[in-house]
Amino acid sequence: MEKRTIALVIAVILIAGAIVYLEQFSANKSYTGTPVAPGNRTAINAEKAKIYPYAKEIAQPSGFVNVDNITIGSLIGKNVILVDFWTYSCINCVRTIPYLNMWYSEYHDQGLEIIGVHTPEFQFEHNIDNVRQAVRRFGIRYPVVLDNNYATWDSYGNQYWPEEYLIDIDGFIVYRAIGEGDYNATEMEIQNLLRERAQALGIQANISNTTAAPANAVSVDFSQIGSQETYFGAGKNQFLANGQQSATGPQALVIPGSVQSNMLYLGGTWNFADEYAETTGNDSIVFQYNAKNVYFVASADNATAVTVMLDGKPIGSSAGSDVTGGVATIQDERLYTLVAGTDYGEHTLKLDIAQPGLRAYTFTFG
């Protein structure tokens, strides 16, 4: 064959292999193997092995946040397991936590174990004390382990925050949920797997067949959000409109009289690192967004006051939970809620920061 033909054949084979691999993890995929007697686990496992990948162990954990130790291997044959990949400054992960907490409360005594695999995006999320503080703040009672080196993330071939994997009583990964949403489908799958567990163990179980939303859940209409996550650091600041993108070091910037939607504008002198941009004093941020809520990942060595303006006025009833009297106080390395609007729409956010030392990481929206 010609080289071009050979290359084409190889490409087709690689693509087909990738599709087969990814199909193993398809969400909402039901077990459709050959029917066997309910008590014959060997035959059942042989059929499952034709369809599903086997569970991966927690690999090279960097620490255990709220548990002395836990392994997936010790739970297989006893529990249904939900593995949740998350990181604490991710708003998509934060909005998923109320559902995980509810499921843990509802189904833990019926055989569900949840393991939060905390895989950090930013350097400060490697700090186990920061993660422990976040676990307490979110009221998480299920076990959380640190995956600072991405070892477990890589073993699962994971790609997203958040992403959940359901492992059945026999240790097979039978369900995968990517990102937020599909909570009813995930809960129904948990219920189905708990019924299978009860049958496999020969025990009686009264598993609910209804689903619910937690009282503190935040609903999001993604079709109404016109702004995407926007990074400040030189590593990913492609939306920086009035400065040099992808460049570390100090930049003196001026905010123009008119701004474009979904572009980041900084005023004053900012010092850019790979993950964040840091204030030097008397600095400002302007962002014209299209959403309902605005979240800000930031930190400072000392408590730093940030004046929040919305559409040219001090923020009022739309102030987020981290804003009091029009001012957000930034210090801890975490996600801050700046705007909690009543409806989706386009608005201009302006932040004035008088003090040096504030590190701005991202804006995210809801």
**Cα–Cα distance between 110 and 236 in angstroms, integer?**
44
Distances (CA, A) of 143 to 83, 85, 100, 124, 148: 10, 12, 11, 21, 16
Q: What is the mean pLDDT of residues 93-107?
A: 98
Per-residue pLDDT at 28:
35
Query: What six digits make up the tokens of 204?
Result: 């009686």
Q: Which residues contact 362 (CB under 8 A, 6 or more apart)?
A: 89, 229, 230, 231, 232, 296, 297
Tell me, what's the pLDDT at 13? 40
Question: How far apart (Å, rounded) are the C-alpha atoms in residues 146 and 120?
Answer: 8
| pTM higher than 0.75 | yes
Q: Are 360 and 277 in contact (CB under 8 A)?
A: yes
Q: Which domains does the chain have, with CATH numbers?
A: 26-201 (3.40.30.10), 222-365 (2.60.120.260)
Task: Over range 242-250, report the average pLDDT.
Answer: 98
Contact status, residue 306 vs residue 351, Cβ threshold 8 Å: yes
CB atoms within 10 A of CB 226: 14
Say if residue 328's pLDDT is above 90. Answer: yes
Check residue 306 and give its pLDDT: 98
Query: CA-CA distance, 179 to 99, in Å (whole number)?
Result: 13
Burial of 16 (0-12, 13-18, 19+ CB in 10 A): exposed
Taking a C-beta distance cutoff of 8 angstroms, is the pair 137, 89 a contact? no
Give yes or no for a cis peptide into 250 (omega within 30° of 0): no
What's the first-to-final CA gap in the chain, in angstroms? 54
Those residues with Cβ within 8 angstroms of residue 9's Cβ, 6 or more apart along the chain or in another chain: 1
Would you say the C-alpha torsion 295, 300, 302, 307 has a positive or negative sign? Answer: negative
CA–CA separation, 39 vs 90, rounded Å?
A: 43
Tell me which residue has tokens 């005023």: 267
> What's the mean pLDDT in 325-346?
97
Q: What SS3 class is residue 146?
A: strand
The mean pLDDT of the chain is: 91
Residue 283 CB coordination number (10 Å): 22
Tens digits of per-residue pLDDT, 103-162? Answer: 999 999 999 999 999 999 999 999 999 999 999 999 999 999 999 999 999 999 999 999
Single-letter amino acid, residue 34: T
Nearest CA among 231, 227, 219 for reference residue 260: 227
pLDDT at 9 over 80: no
Count of C-beta atoms within a 10 Å radius of residue 129: 8
pLDDT grade, residue 273 (50/70/90)?
Answer: very high
pLDDT at 238 over 90: yes
Name 215's Cβ contacts closer than 8 Å, sequence gap at least 6. Answer: none
- Residues 181, 198: contact at Cβ < 8 Å? no
The mean pLDDT of 215-241, rounded to a whole number, is: 96
Question: Any residues with CB less than 8 A from the CB of 40 and at least 6 apart, and which?
Answer: none
Region 166-181 average pLDDT: 96
Say which DSSP state 328 is in: E
Report the DSSP beta bridge partners of residue 323: 328
Q: What is the pLDDT of residues 22-81, one digit of tens each?
A: 344 433 333 333 334 456 889 999 999 999 999 999 999 999 999 999 999 999 999 999
Separation between Cα atoms, residue 213 and residue 85, nearest integer Å: 21
Q: What is the mean predicted confidence (pLDDT) over 224-242?
A: 98
Given a cut of 50, is residue 246 above it in pLDDT? yes
